[in-house]
Amino acid sequence: MSAYFGIIGAIAVTLACLLLSGSYSAYIRRRVAEYSAYLDFLRFMRREISSSIPTTRELGFRSGDSVLEGIGFLPALREGALISEAFSSSKKESLMSEADREALGRYFSEFGLGTLNTELSALDACIASFSERERAERSEAPRRIKLAATLLMLFAAALTVLLI
């Protein structure tokens, strides 16, 4: 009878580790999607500012990214918030690193304070920097997912040996 409990326990531990692995994998994918969404938004801003001078509210209505919609950034823009306020309000839903949030937040807080040429130069620098961060996140994601899955499966195997 106790062998059955060991087998059932081993199966339960293995399933729990598989679920944790899948959950972590989804987290990493959402994180990469957020970096990509903000990078796309910065590029969208660059195109819009080059052709006209839209308000931040117009930027919120013209952009239709589902990730930025989900974390509350675009809805805040549509309600008339400044771009820095909209970015700050989406902080609790964000998966970006704190350092990257601070860097992007600094840019957004200074947005609209200069001439068109200085705005475009600052935006280009922000796009270049954020593009590197997005590329790094994207390239690190598979390694992180594999590492977490491997460690969780090793943990499950060790507990299985102890339970059986």
Q: Is the separation of the CB atoms in 126 and 42 below 8 Å? A: yes
Q: Is the separation of the CB atoms in 127 and 103 below 8 Å? A: no
Mean of the pLDDT values across residues 112-128?
A: 85
pLDDT of residue 1: 54
Q: Does the pLDDT at position 149 exceed 80?
A: yes
Residue 2 burial (C-beta neighbours within 10 Å; 0-12, 13-18, 19+): exposed
Q: Is the separation of the CB atoms in 81 and 61 below 8 Å? A: no
pLDDT of residue 138: 94
Q: Does the pLDDT at position 99 exceed 70?
A: yes
Mean of the pLDDT values across residues 131-155?
A: 91
Q: Does the pLDDT at position 127 exceed 60?
A: yes
> What does the alpha-carbon distance between residue 97 and residue 74 come to, in Å, rounded to a whole number?
20
Give the model confidence (pLDDT) of 20-74 as tens digits: 888 999 999 999 999 999 999 999 988 888 777 777 778 888 887 888 888 888 8
- Residue written as tokens 């309600």? 79
95: confidence class by pLDDT, cuts 50, 70, 90: confident
Which residue has better confidence, 40 or 9? 40
Note the residue count of the chain. Answer: 164
Q: Does the pLDDT at position 110 exceed 70?
A: yes
Q: Does the pLDDT at position 152 exceed 80?
A: yes
pLDDT of residue 59: 80
The residue ranges of every structural domain in the chain are: 2-163
Q: Which of 141, 118, 109, 120 is nearest to 42 (CA)?
A: 120
Which residue type occupies 135? R
3-state SS of 87-155 is HHHCHHHCCCCHHHHHHHHHHHHHCCCCCHHHHHHHHHHHHHHHHHHHHHHHHHHHHHHHHHHHHHHHH
pTM for the model: 0.79
